[in-house]
Structure 1
Amino acid sequence: MGEITWRDVTVAWARPSDPHGFTETDAAAMGQGQIDRLRQLSGSRAQSFLAGRALIRALVRRIRGSDEVLLFSRCARCGAEHGRPRSAGVSLSVSHAEDLVVVAASAGSIELGVDVEEEAAAGRVEGLGPMFPDGRAPDLGAWTRIEAAVKADGRGFEIDPSEVILQPHADESEPCVWSAVVPGRLRPLEVTTLGGPPGYVVSVAVG
């Protein structure tokens, strides 16, 4: 397990294959929807779900200073329990990649998105070239920045990733921060790639 902070956002990660002491009973304590979702999963996907909820519980407890953590994840479109996790007074985003789960959390209500990709996935991302106007796919870092921005926007799959434009941040004191111009938004999001765990690329976006 590890974590890093960027601005007011804490990004934490864990490997689902490592013991984390978080069980079905713990998930149930976070709300019936969480146990309903867990029972739809099996094997490594169930372990990844539990590891992610363990991270969320730890971060929310720290931010709110309260042991009780209720979580809501009902999808606004279909009503199933696979939507973005939400908890009162905290903004959350979750991403999974192979044997890693990453959670971003911040106090208050902000637009927040996190994305993680295994470095071994670079070839798969390169194969997405045809969907981009010039036929050239972004590198893995840029792809995670685009995905984080799409998550922070909240519209998800409604946005064509090839239409998200990454521009250098206007503040030259932050050379590792980009402005993500997302179709349909009046203001860009800010996004950066963090020094996450070895073998993975992690980016976070805020609005």
Structure 2
Amino acid sequence: MGEITWRDVTVVWASPSDLQGFTETDAAAMGPAQADRLRQLSGSRAQGFLAGRALIRALVRRIRGSDEVLLSSLCTRCGAHHGRPRSDGVSLSVSHAEDLVVVAATAGSILLGVDIEEEAAAGPLYGLGPMFPDGSAPDLAAWTRIEAAVKADGRGFEIDPSEVLLQQRPDDVDPCVWSAALPGRSSPLEVTTLVGPPGYVLSVAVG
């Protein structure tokens, strides 16, 4: 497992194989819909789901100081329980990449998104070049910043990644922070790429 903090956001990661003690019973205690969602998954996807819920439970317990952790993952578009996890008094975001799951959490209600990609995924990004105005695909770090911003925004795949405008702010007190302007949003999000687990690229967006 690993952990890093950026501003008031705590980001933790682990391999699902390291979190075998968290079971369907534990997921069900976080709300019946969580167990229902797990039953729709199998193999590595089920293992990754359980690992994510284990990390969420640990973080929410730490932030709120209470043992009970109830989650809602209702999709606002279709009503199914595959949406982003939500819990009272805490903002959450989850990302998966190969044999790794990452959870970002902070107290209160803010826009929050996390994205992680394996460094080996950099090659396929070159095929995305035609999507972008200048014909060149972003590097892997920029791609994770775009994905984190889209997750924080909440509209997800409804947003064309090529319409997310990233601008680095060298005059900021934190020069590693980018401004992410998204279509249809009046104010930009803030996004940064953090030093995460070896072999992966990790970014977090807040708003």
Q: Identify the TM-score tier after normalising by the shorter chain.
A: over 0.9
1:29-68 superposed Cα distances (whole Å, 9 cap, x missing partner): 0000100000000000000000000000000000000000
1:17 is aligned to 17
Pair 1:170–1:182, CA change in 2 (3 A): farther
- Which residue is 1:58 aligned to? 58
1 CA distance for matches of 2:59 and 2:16? 17
Q: Is the 8 A contact 2:71 2:87 kept in 1?
A: yes
1:100 aligns with 2:87: no
SS in 2 for 1:128: helix
| Structure 2: gaps (5+ residues) | none
Residue 109 (structure 2) pairs with residue 88 (structure 1): no
User: Identity rate of aligned residues, in percent?
Assistant: 84
The CA deviation at 1:174 is 1.2
Aligned 8 A contact 2:19 2:54 in 1: no
Corresponding residue of 1:189: 189
Q: Which amino acid aligns with 2:152?
A: A
Residue in structure 2 matched with residue 152 of structure 1 by the alignment: 152
Question: Could you tell me which residue of structure 1 aligns to residue 168 of structure 2?
Answer: 168
SS in 1 for 2:25: helix
Partners of 2:16 and 2:125 lie apart in 1 by 24
Query: SS at 1:135's partner residue?
Result: coil
* Mapped partners of 2:20, 2:104: distance in 1: 18
For residue 16 of structure 2, give the secondary structure of its aligned residue in structure 1.
coil
CA distance in 1, matches of 2:57, 2:172: 36
Report the counterpart of residue 131 of structure 1 in structure 2: 131
Report the residue type matching 1:36 in the other structure. Answer: D
Kindly provide the CA deviation profile for residues 155-199 of structure 1, in whole angstroms up to 9, marking residues without a partner as x.
Answer: 111111001011012643311110001111111000000000001
Structure 1 gaps, min length 5: none
Distance change in 2, residues 1:110/1:159 (3 Å): same
Q: Determine the C-alpha separation between the residues in 1 that align with 2:148 and 2:172.
A: 22
- Per-residue deviation, 1:80: 1.0
Contact 1:20 1:54 in 2 (8 A): no
CA distance in 1, matches of 2:171, 2:41: 44
Q: Given residue 88 of structure 2, which amino acid in structure 1 is its aligned partner?
A: A
Report the Cα distance in structure 2 between the residues aligned to 1:171 and 1:27, rounded to whole angstroms.
Answer: 45
In 1, the alpha carbon distance for the partners of 2:108 and 2:19 equals 30
Tell me the number of residue pairs that the alignment of Structure 1 and Structure 2 aligns.
207
TM-score, reference length from structure 2 = 0.98
Task: Give the equivalent residue in structure 1 for 2:3.
Answer: 3
| Whole-angstrom distance in 2 between the partners of 1:39 and 1:9 | 31
Partner Cα distance (2:155, 2:196) in 1: 26
Structure 1 length-normalised TM: 0.98
